[in-house]
Structure 1
């Protein structure tokens, strides 16, 4: 009997067994989640099956045998291990928590509305949430297995939403970058924390000092500052922009000064952390401005145009004039949006003319119950992060 269709081999070995428990280990991280189904194969035949019950560490997991046995087969080092995700059980209702209007984050203030998934209509609403029902004509396919009904609740306090997901009042809870507490970043076994990348919104940086003539193509953002921005301020909830140039530190003798766009609610907190990374040597300061771009992360031309619009509004000539030249080179006015199949020229133009680099996209922590986790993964955690629409200040 061969392994199940759709299962994939993993580079793991059986460390030991104890009654119906099997301990799997690997020198590298294993692509295992609670609920995954394991098939043990020896000389091409399936000899046992198990289900992952605990992920102890990225390199170790515990599974419970559901069929067959391993001890009679002697040398376990020759057993091949295959994994497949669990089948999705029918789910008619999914309870989702989202940040409410009183919850701004460090990057932007948001008066949220809901961006329903395609095929849903609003059946009921209140000040605290919405009930969304899928249209009868809309069929959930295997790629987007949304449930029949979404019950969405808005939480004005992070602590209240954390309590709700821990208590089981929610199946899924979405948090803004940086606001999830340490307790749920290493959640109990009843919960799973995933990263939900938003499809819109870029944190960018620009060099603004007027020093001696320099080669703008050599501009890089200080690596220590990038690491502090992500780790110390946002607790690892920022994702490096896919086409971001490598970071580096300025010359050791060159001090740096950071300012954050005044629209950031967390401006002062971010500036305090970034200042700690700046060298204190005497001399010409390298000045950097951190700002936010409301643009689709998959459309580099739109990112470049959003950056041109920002620079044109925030700075006088000659920077504003350079921003106009970027927009003109892309064939659109600074406020336009444009999709390009070739991202490199737009980002290179942005870097070389304005000394602007996209640094990060936004990753919202998505906490879900173990039972809902397979469905959240199948839908994509980012789809839940994208449920939040901030209107005119849409992130």
Structure 2
């Protein structure tokens, strides 16, 4: 366990190093705090109260609920470390819950856990850790922070079944320099074994499965409560605009969905192809209509060398993950503004996939990898097929990527 819990990039001895640990009350963050304490670091545990935990009384496995705050406090007492509970309800609502609801109103499929990491834990909590004079903020995420030639790099966890790097793509280089992920080199089974060895009461506590502020899993009712009228009924239409049925709210659907459409009588299965929230329409079609190989992303966070250093408009070859549960696919990334480091790193970009993917949904994340390393990623704004573009550029003797590069020059 010695190497697994060492903190890379810290020059001071453990006894001279103050580490704030984000303690959610679960087994992962509890083991993180315990291992840091065992190694001799000065550990301060902080638990965030992110929403009215009274709504989740009796709900096991939902992070940040009342039971979880109690569990985090028990672990801190067992370890003999300082522990604080901070009220982050208002900033969590503004940065995560409101964004979650508004994203559904735009016809997107949001990932609130990414927003929570980006805007609450790795921004607000990180600043609190600095205010406490900490040298690092450690979390129980399954991801690795490795030292590279140009500084800290973000890598996948050793255990692919537990890897959470997709959800941390928005971590900036500055934040990464202050963050530590002691569990990234461990398989989950070993984490639980460590919890038992260390005598932690949460050793057999189940992992959280639901979105923390949606303890019943019924996200549509939460969105409707926050945004009255969000579940207004409308039409389900095919690609030609023919009405096939009615729905009870666009927010109940996502691109790529097949089950629960309530329409039938067609020769082949139908899928949600796109959502038109302003018209309150759900557009459905065959699976072939879902095939997309060009993805536009926004709010790109890039952790590698600036994209404009690729030169000659050829883009950078990457492996692209378009959903958390889907394997990455090969492709290339092109900055929206060639020759602008700032625009390339923080603005928009285009992804061209080597082969079409199905169910590419706006609001999800597109994360780029090179092997185990996270190069960066952004939010999916739109997706389409290059088939029509190929036809249009064939007579000019241009490939689709080269036509794209010329258009962006």
TM-score interval w.r.t. the shorter chain? under 0.3
Judging by fraction of residues, say which structure has more helix: 2
- In the superposition, the TM-score normalised over structure 2's length comes to 0.23
Which is strand-richer, 1 or 2?
A: 1
- The structure, 1 or 2, with the larger RCO (C-alpha pairs under 8 Å, 6+ apart) is 1
Structure with max Cα Rg: 1
